[in-house]
C-alpha cells in the first residue's frame, strides 16, 4: 500500500495542481495576481541565487535567503526520510514530530552538559544520543506493533502528544530544564555551550549561516538508499512492505522488521531534531516545542517524494522553499501578507498529501479522456496497470 | 453460545459474577482516593490504603475469573487510588481545598468532555462503517472556525451551529470521496484533512479577522440555568448540585440525548446493523443488498457533522472566540477516547469523562502546586490510551474491515 517508490508523473501533476489551487485561493480571497505572489515567494526562497544574471545586492540577499531555505531543508529531508523508511515497510510513522521533539530535548541537554569536551567529540555524542532517543521513541511504537499488534498510527499519535507535553514540562515554567535566570514570558532552556554548536560553512555564523547539518542530512539520504537497496535488512523491510504475509512464509521475521523499521525511522527524525538544535536553535523554548511542525511536514515530503531518496531530496527542497519563501522574514509584506502566505503553505501541503496518494484519480481522469474520444483505445499510460479492477 | 449462557443467568449470579466484582473493585479504588480528599479528609493513610487493597483484591479475583479488562482496570484504579491517597494525606489541607472543589471539578469535567464526546461519537459512526477518521481534529477545527464565522455573520448562534455542521460535513465528504471512491489510503487522507483544515481556517481567519481577532460580541450558545438546584436539601448537597449542574452550556446537556440516540441507532436499529455489517464484512453486506458506498458516505459525513458540533461548542459555547489551531489536539484525544472506549458510545463517553477530568484537574493543580505539575498532567490521556491499545487493560479491538477500501464487484 505504501511501499511503492518511483514514478514521477503523479507527484509532478499533484504539486502543479496544488500550486494552481493555491493561486486560485489567492485570487479569490485577495484579488492579487497569483503569479506576482508566487514570484515574491520564489524570490524569498533565495533560489534566484542559482541564476547567473542576478548580481549585486540582489545576489547578496538571495544568498542569505538560500541559506535559510537550505537550513530548513536539512531537517525536512530527515523527517521525510523517517516517514519514507517506515512507509517502505508498510508502516505509517505519523510520529515524526514526537521523535523530532525528543531528539531536540536530548540534544539540548547533551549540549549543555560535557562542557569541557573537545568540539568533534561533543557534537558526535550529542548527535548520537539524540538519534538514539528518536529511535527509542519510535521503537516503543515498533515494539507494540511487533508484539501485540497495536496499530502504529494510534501509538505514534499518542507518543507525539506525550513528547509534546513532557517536553513542555521540562522546558516550561518551573521545569527542570528551564533557565531560571530569566523570568521570561516564554520560558526557555539555557544555550548549549560553544563546543556543541555545528560549524557554519556558508554565511555568517552570528546570523544563522548554513551549518554542516546540511551535509549530515545528505549523508543520511545515502545511508537510506544503501540500507534499503543494498542490505539484507533493507530487502526484508521492503519485502514486508510489499506483502507481510508472503514475507513471513519465506522465512522473514516480520515483527523484527517492524521494530527495526520503526526504530530506524525514529532515528532519522531524532537526528533532524539534533541538527536543528545544534545547528541554529541552540536552545529550546516553550513556543517552539509546542508549535513545531517539521515532523508533520515530513509526511508530505515523503509522500511527494514517493518514499525514495532522490524524491525526498527534491520534495524537501520544494517544501523548504515554500516554508522559507512564505516566512515573515523573507516575504515582502507589501506584496502579500506573510501570515496569509504561511497558511497558504499549509493548504498546499494538505492538497499534496490528499492528491498524491490518490493514484486512482489519475487513472479515472485518463479513462475519462478516453471516453471523451481524445485518444485511441490504447490510451493507458505506459507502465501503468489498467484501472486495477 | 456464550450470549445465551449469559442471558439465562439469574440476577444473583450476575451480581456476584467476576464483571460485577471487578466494577466494585474500580469503585473501591476511586473511593480510597476520595476518602483522602475534601470533605472527608482522612488524615492517616490506613483507611484509604485498606479500601484500596480491597479494590485490588477484587480486581485480582476478577482477572483470575477471566474478566481481564475490568479486572485489570480495578487493579489499576486501586493502585492509582492508593498512591493518590498517600500523596493527598501528605499535602496540606488548604492546597487540597483549592484544587479539589468538587462542584467546580464536576462542571469542568463535563465542559471538557463535551467536545471530546461529540467528536468521538462522530468518529464512532465513521470507524464502525470501516473508514478510519484521523481527520476528526481537522473537522473539529473547521467546526470551530465556521461556527464563529457563522455566528458572527448571521448574528445568531443557531446560524453558527448550522454553518459549522455544513462545513464539517463538507470536509468529511472530501475525506469520504478519497477513502471510498478513489480508494486512497484513509490514514493519509485523514492526515491531509487535518493539514487542509489548519490551512483553510488559518487563512480565512487572517483574511476575515486579521489582527483584531473575532469580535467580542460573538453570539454564544446559551447556558441552561437551574436555580432551584441550590434549594435541594440538605444545604451541602444543594450547593454541590448547583455548582455542578446549575449553569451548564446547552451543548453539554445535548450531549446526553446524543449519547442515548447514537447508542440506540448503532445497536438497536437496522441502520446501525447495516453500519456495523459494512464495517465488519463489507462483501457480505453487499451480498445481502446493502449499499456499502452509501452507508460509508453517510457515516463519514455524520462524523464530520458531529465533530464540527464539538468544535463549534469550543469556539461559540466555551471560549467565545476563535484562534488559529484552537482545537489543539482535542480531535486526537477524541480519537483516543473512541479507541479507549472500545468503539462504543458509552465507553467513549466514559473515556471522555476521564480525559475531561484530567484536563479539569490539570487546570486546577497550578493554583496550589505550581504550573509544571499541571503541564505534565496533560500527557495523562495519551499515556492511558497507549496502555489501552497495548493491551495491558484488555485489548481494544477495532471493526474488522477498518481502513480497507471496498471495491464493488
Same structural domain, B118 and B75 = no
Taking only residues 252 to 281 of chain B, the set having a beta carbon closer than 8 angstroms to any beta carbon of chain A reads none
Contact B182, A361 (CB under 8 A): yes
User: How many angstroms separate the CA atoms of B114 and B343, rounded?
Assistant: 17
CA distance A384 to chain B (A): 16
**Nearest CB partner across the interface for A150, out of B199, B371, B390:** B390
**Which of A180-214 are b and which e, b meaning 16 or more Cβ less than 10 Å from the residue's Cβ?**
eeeeeeebbbbebbebbbbebeebeeeebbbbbbb
Q: Is residue B401 part of a domain?
A: no
Same structural domain, B275 and B162 = yes
Using CA coordinates, name the residue in chain A closest to B332.
Answer: A157
Q: Collect all residues with Cβ–Cβ distance below 8 Å to B212 and sequence separation of at least 6.
A: none
Grid cell 454553518 — which residue?
Answer: B163
Subunit contact A144:B134, Cβ cutoff 8 A: no
Q: Is residue B397 part of a domain?
A: no
Subunit contact B370:A174, Cβ cutoff 8 A: yes
Same structural domain, B223 and B369 = yes
Q: pLDDT (tens digit, 0 to 9) for every residue of chain B, 409 residues total?
A: 344 444 445 555 666 788 888 888 888 888 888 887 777 777 777 888 888 888 888 888 888 887 777 788 788 888 888 888 887 777 777 777 766 677 788 888 999 999 999 999 999 999 999 999 999 999 999 999 999 999 999 999 999 999 999 999 999 999 999 999 888 889 889 999 999 999 999 999 999 998 788 888 889 999 888 877 777 777 777 777 777 787 889 999 999 999 999 999 999 999 999 999 999 999 999 999 999 999 999 999 999 999 999 999 999 998 899 998 899 889 988 998 898 888 999 989 988 998 888 888 887 777 666 667 778 888 888 887 788 777 655 556 778 888 888 887 7
Q: Is residue B395 part of a domain?
A: no
Subunit contact B379:A94, Cβ cutoff 8 A: no
Does residue B116 sit at the A interface (CB-CB below 8 Å)? no
Domain that holds residue B371: 101-389
Same structural domain, B30 and B167 = no
Same structural domain, B30 and B108 = no
Same structural domain, B290 and B372 = yes
Same structural domain, B8 and B44 = yes
Contact A187, A169 (CB under 8 A): no
* pLDDT of res. A198: 93
Secondary structure class of B127 (helix, strand, coil): helix
Contact B127, B65 (CB under 8 A): no
Same structural domain, B67 and B142 = no
The domain total for chain B is 2
Does residue A195 sit at the B interface (CB-CB below 8 Å)? no
Contacts of B385 in chain A (CB under 8 A): 154, 158
Same structural domain, B151 and B47 = no
**Nearest CB partner across the interface for A344, out of B183, B203, B335:** B203
Subunit contact A173:B370, Cβ cutoff 8 A: yes
CATH of the domain at B192: 1.10.3470
User: How many angstroms separate the CA atoms of A154 and B10, rounded?
Assistant: 40
* pLDDT of res. B74: 82
Same structural domain, B273 and B126 = yes
Residue B138 burial by Cβ neighbours in a 10 Å radius (0-12, 13-18, 19+): buried
Q: Is residue B46 part of a domain?
A: yes
User: How many angstroms separate the CA atoms of A389 and A386, rounded?
Assistant: 8
User: How many angstroms separate the CA atoms of B199 and A293, rounded?
Assistant: 13
pTM of the model: 0.86
* pLDDT of res. B14: 64
Taking only residues 132 to 171 of chain B, the set having a beta carbon closer than 8 angstroms to any beta carbon of chain A reads 132, 134
Q: Collect all residues with Cβ–Cβ distance below 8 Å to A54 and sequence separation of at least 6.
A: A48, A62
pLDDT digits (tens, 9 = 90+) for A113-167: 988 889 899 999 999 999 999 999 999 999 999 988 888 888 998 999 999 999 9
CA distance B380 to chain A (A): 8
**Nearest CB partner across the interface for A350, out of B182, B196, B389:** B196
* pLDDT of res. B363: 78
* pLDDT of res. A383: 41
Q: How far is CA A76 from CA A14, A45, A294, in A?
A: 19, 15, 6
Same structural domain, B207 and B80 = no
* pLDDT of res. B212: 84
pLDDT digits (tens, 9 = 90+) for A15-61: 888 888 888 888 888 888 888 888 888 888 888 888 888 888 888 88
Q: pLDDT (tens digit, 0 to 9) for every residue of chain A, 389 residues total?
A: 444 544 677 788 888 888 888 888 888 888 888 888 888 888 888 888 888 888 888 888 889 899 999 999 999 999 999 999 999 999 999 999 999 999 999 999 999 998 888 989 999 999 999 999 999 999 999 999 998 888 888 899 899 999 999 999 999 887 888 887 766 677 889 999 999 999 998 888 887 889 999 999 999 999 999 999 999 999 999 999 999 999 999 999 999 999 999 999 999 999 999 999 999 999 998 988 988 889 999 999 998 898 999 999 999 999 999 899 888 777 878 888 888 888 888 898 899 888 887 766 766 776 776 666 555 444 444 444 444 33
Q: Is residue B404 part of a domain?
A: no
Using CA coordinates, name the residue in chain A closest to B378.
Answer: A165
Q: Is residue B239 part of a domain?
A: yes
* Residue B311 backbone phi and psi in degrees, to 5: -65, -40
Same structural domain, B19 and B128 = no
CATH number of the domain at A9-357, please?
Answer: 1.10.3470
* pLDDT of res. A386: 42
Secondary structure class of A115 (helix, strand, coil): coil
Amino acid at each position: 500500500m505504501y511501499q511503492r517508490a518511483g514514478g514521477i508523473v503523479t507527484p509532478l501533476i499533484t504539486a502543479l495542481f496544488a500550486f494552481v489551487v493555491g493561486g486560485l485561493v489567492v485570487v479569490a480571497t485577495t484579488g492579487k495576481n497569483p503569479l506576482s505572489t508566487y514570484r515574491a515567494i520564489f524570490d524569498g526562497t533565495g533560489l534566484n541565487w542559482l541564476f547567473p544574471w542576478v548580481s549585486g545586492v540582489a545576489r547578496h540577499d538571495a544568498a542569505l535567503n538560500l541559506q535559510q531555505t537550505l537550513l530548513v531543508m536539512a531537517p525536512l529531508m530527515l523527517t521525510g526520510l523517517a516517514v519514507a523508511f517506515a512507509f517502505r515497510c508498510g508502516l505509517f510513522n505519523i510520529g515524526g514530530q514526537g521523535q523530532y521533539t525528543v531528539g531536540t530535548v536530548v540534544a539540548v541537554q547533551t549540549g549543555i552538559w560535557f562542557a569541557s569536551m573537545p568540539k568533534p567529540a561533543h557534537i558526535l555524542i550529542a548527535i548520537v544520543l539524540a538519534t538514539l532517543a528518536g529511535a527509542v521513541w519510535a521503537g516503543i511504537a515498533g515494539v507494540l506493533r511487533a508484539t501485540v499488534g497495536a496499530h502504529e498510527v494510534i501509538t505514534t499519535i499518542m507518543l507525539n502528544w506525550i513528547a509534546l507535553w513532557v517536553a513542555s514540562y521540562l522546558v516550561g515554567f518551573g521545569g527542570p530544564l528551564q533557565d531560571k535566570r530569566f523570568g521570561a514570558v516564554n520560558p526557555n532552556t539555557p544555550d548549549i555551550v560553544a563546543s556543541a554548536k555545528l560549524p557554519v560553512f556558508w554565511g555568517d555564523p552570528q546570523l544563522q549561516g548554513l551549518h554542516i547539518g546540511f551535509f549530515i542530512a545528505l549523508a543520511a539520504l545515502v545511508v537510506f538508499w544503501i540500507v534499503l537497496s543494498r542490505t539484507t535488512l533493507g530487502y526484508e523491510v521492503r519485502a514486508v512492505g510489499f506483502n507481510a504475509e508472503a514475507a513471513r512464509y519465506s522465512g522473514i521475521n516480520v515483527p523484527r522488521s517492524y521494530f527495526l523499521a520503526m526504530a530506524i525511522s525514529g532515528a532519522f527524525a531524532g537526528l533532524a531534531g539534533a541538527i536543528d538544535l545544534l545547528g541554529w536553535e541552540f536552545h529550546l523554548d516553550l513556543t517552539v516545542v509546542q508549535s513545531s511542525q517539521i515532523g508533520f511536514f515530513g509526511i508530505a515530503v515523503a509522500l511527494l517524494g514517493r518514499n525514495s531518496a532522490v524524491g525526498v531530496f527534491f520534495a524537501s527542497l520544494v517544501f523548504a522553499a515554500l516554508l522559507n519563501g512564505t516566512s515573515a522574514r523573507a516575504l515582502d509584506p507589501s506584496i502579500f501578507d506573510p501570515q496569509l502566505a504561511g497558511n497558504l503553505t499549509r493548504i498546499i501541503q494538505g492538497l499534496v498529501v490528499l492528491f498524491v496518494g490518490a493514484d486512482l484519480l489519475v487513472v479515472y481522469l485518463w479513462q475519462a479522456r478516453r471516453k471523451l474520444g481524445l485518444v485511441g483505445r490504447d490510451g493507458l499510460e505506459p507502465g501503468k496497470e489498467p484501472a486495477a479492477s | 453460545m456464550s450470549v445465551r449462557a449469559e442471558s439465562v443467568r439469574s440476577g444473583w449470579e450476575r451480581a456476584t459474577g467476576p464483571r460485577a466484582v471487578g466494577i466494585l473493585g474500580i469503585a473501591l479504588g476511586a473511593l480510597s482516593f476520595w476518602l483522602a480528599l475534601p470533605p472527608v479528609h482522612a488524615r492517616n493513610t490506613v483507611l484509604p490504603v485498606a479500601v484500596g487493597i480491597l479494590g485490588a483484591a477484587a480486581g485480582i479475583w476478577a482477572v483470575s475469573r477471566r474478566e481481564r479488562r475490568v479486572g485489570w482496570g480495578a487493579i489499576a484504579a486501586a493502585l492509582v487510588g492508593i498512591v493518590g491517597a498517600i500523596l493527598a494525606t501528605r499535602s496540606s489541607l488548604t492546597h487540597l481545598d483549592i484544587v479539589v472543589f468538587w462542584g467546580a471539578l464536576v462542571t469542568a469535567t463535563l465542559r471538557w468532555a463535551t467536545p471530546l464526546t461529540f467528536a468521538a461519537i462522530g468518529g464512532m459512526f465513521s470507524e464502525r462503517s470501516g473508514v478510519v477518521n484521523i481527520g476528526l481534529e481537522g473537522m473539529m477545527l473547521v467546526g470551530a472556525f465556521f461556527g464563529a464565522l457563522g455566528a458572527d455573520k448571521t448574528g445568531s448562534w443557531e446560524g453558527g451551529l448550522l454553518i459549522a455542521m455544513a462545513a464539517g460535513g463538507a470536509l468529511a465528504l472530501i475525506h469520504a470521496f478519497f477513502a471510498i471512491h478513489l480508494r486512497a489510503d484513509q490514514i493519509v487522507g485523514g492526515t491531509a484533512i487535518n493539514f487542509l483544515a489548519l490551512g483553510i481556517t488559518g487563512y480565512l481567519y487572517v483574511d476575515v479577522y486579521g489582527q483584531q481577532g473575532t469580535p467580542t460580541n460573538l453570539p454564544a450558545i446559551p447556558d441552561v440555568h437551574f436555580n432551584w438546584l441550590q434549594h435541594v436539601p440538605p444545604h451541602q448537597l444543594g450547593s454541590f448540585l448547583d455548582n455542578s449542574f446549575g449553569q451548564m452550556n446547552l451543548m453539554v446537556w445535548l450531549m446526553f440525548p446524543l449519547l442515548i440516540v447514537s447508542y440506540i441507532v448503532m445497536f438497536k436499529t437496522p441502520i446501525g446493523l447495516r453500519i456495523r455489517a459494512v464495517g465488519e464484512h463489507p462483501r457480505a453486506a453487499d451480498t445481502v443488498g446493502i449499499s456499502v458506498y452509501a452507508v460509508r458516505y453517510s457515516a463519514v459525513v455524520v462524523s464530520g457533522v458531529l465533530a464540527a458540533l464539538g468544535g463549534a461548542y469550543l469556539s461559540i459555547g466555551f471560549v467565545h472566540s476563535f484562534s488559529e489551531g484552537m482545537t489543539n489536539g482535542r480531535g486526537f484525544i477524541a480519537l483516543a477516547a473512541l479507541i479507549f472506549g472500545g468503539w462504543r458510545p458509552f465507553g467513549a463517553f466514559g473515556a471522555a469523562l476521564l480525559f475531561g477530568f484530567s484536563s479539569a484537574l490539570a487546570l486546577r493543580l497550578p493554583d496550589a502546586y505550581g504550573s509544571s505539575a499541571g503541564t505534565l498532567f496533560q500527557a495523562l490521556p495519551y499515556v492511558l490510551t497507549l496502555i489501552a491499545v497495548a493491551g495491558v487493560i484488555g485489548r481494544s479491538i477495532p471493526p474488522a474491515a477498518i481502513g480497507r477500501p471496498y471495491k464493488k464487484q
